[in-house]
Every structure is written in C-alpha cells, then in structure tokens.
Amino acid sequence: MPFSHIDEAGRSKMVDVTEKQITNRAALASGYIYMKRDTLDKIISGNIEKGAVFEVARVASVMSVKKTAELIPMCHPLNITGVHVDFTPEKEKSRVKIDVKVRLAGQTGVEMEALTGVSVAALTIYDMCKAVDKDMVISDIKLIEKSGGKSGTYKREE
C-alpha cells in the first residue's frame, strides 16, 4: 500500500478528506513516565514545588490535543469534541501511566491527537519534577484503540 502523504512525484502532501464521510471517531493512547520512588511519592502527596503536577499535565495534554495540527505537519485541524486524561500512579513500578482519550465527529481520525496528548502530559510531568529527578524516563507511548471511519475499530493486542 502506498503512503497516503506522498504524491505520484514523491512530494509531501496533506491527504484530501473532502469526500470522506463524517463519523464519530475516538482514539485512546497511553504511555508511562518512570521516576524515582521519592519523586512519585512527592507528586502523590502534593509536595512538588511547582504545584499540582497531574492537574497542570492534564491541562497541557488537552491544550496539545487541540494544537496537534500545528505540531505534526500533515495532520488536519480538527474540531475536537472531547478529551479525557487519566493518570494512574503505579508505586510498585515507580511510574505513572498516562491515558488520553480523544473524540470527535469528523472526516479523519484522532490517533495523532491522543498520542500527542500523552506525550505532552509526560513532558509536563518531567518539566514539573526535573528539579528533584532528572533521571525520569518517558516510554511506551502507543495507540491502544481507535474507532470510527472507513477502517473501523482497532484494538491493540498485548
């Protein structure tokens, strides 16, 4: 299958979605940020000097979802109708799981928006905690599921 963002002459292009059906679409992405146990304890107890880490990261995630088309060259500007961001501290693994679900009624999917939301949430956590832990690692950012559109439903098999 040829790449949809390359024309016959090998030039980059944005896919034309003009004729595509408007459908309800959703995507869920997730990722992790690993940190020292003490850092995770400080986040949970609200003892990070810069403030409420998860709430700032949640707002950053939502903002980034809405600006994905400004960051990823071939993404379409979208009328996002819903963003849900969850943080799950996992003390035994000294990490935080980040889940971002994005929804809209539109002509193209929201996978890139969900992945961007996870990435920026993780980067925001790093930024807010780097004074106490520069060894944090962001990893495993991936699409978990998506629905809507011509290709239908996708669910990652783990």
At residue 2, the pLDDT reads 63
Instruction: Quick: pLDDT tens for 26-81.
Output: 999 999 999 999 999 999 999 998 989 999 999 999 999 999 999 999 999 999 99
Rounded CA Rg of the chain: 17
At residue 139, the pLDDT reads 98
Look at residue 136 and tell me whether its pLDDT is greater than 90.
yes
Instruction: From the candidates 7, 41, 99, 127, give the one annotated as an active-site residue.
Output: 127
Look at residue 3 and tell me whether its pLDDT is greater than 70.
no
Entry pTM: 0.93
At residue 7, the pLDDT reads 76
The count of structural domains within the chain is 1
CA dist., res. 16 & res. 108, Å (int): 10
127: annotated active-site residue = yes
| Domain presence at residue 9 | no
Domain that residue 30 falls in: 23-146
Angle between helices 53-66 and 111-129 (to 10 degrees): 150
Which residues does 65 contact at the CB level (< 8 Å), separation at least 6? 80, 83, 100, 102, 110, 113, 114, 116, 117
Determine the average pLDDT of the residues in 132-141. Answer: 97
Percent of residues, the chain, with pLDDT higher than 90: 82
Look at residue 1 and tell me whether its pLDDT is greater than 60.
no
| Domain presence at residue 1 | no
| Domain presence at residue 152 | no
Question: CATH number for the domain including 120?
Answer: 3.30.70.640
Task: Write the DSSP assignment of 27-74 as a string of letters.
Answer: EEEEEEEE--HHHHHHHHHT--TT--HHHHHHHHHHHHHHTHHHHSTT
CA–CA distances in Å: residue 51 to residues 6, 40, 42, 62, 84:
44, 14, 11, 18, 21
| Domain presence at residue 47 | yes
| Domain presence at residue 14 | no
Determine the average pLDDT of the residues in 106-129. Answer: 97
| Contact assessment for residue 105 and residue 25, using Cβ atoms and an 8 Å cutoff | yes
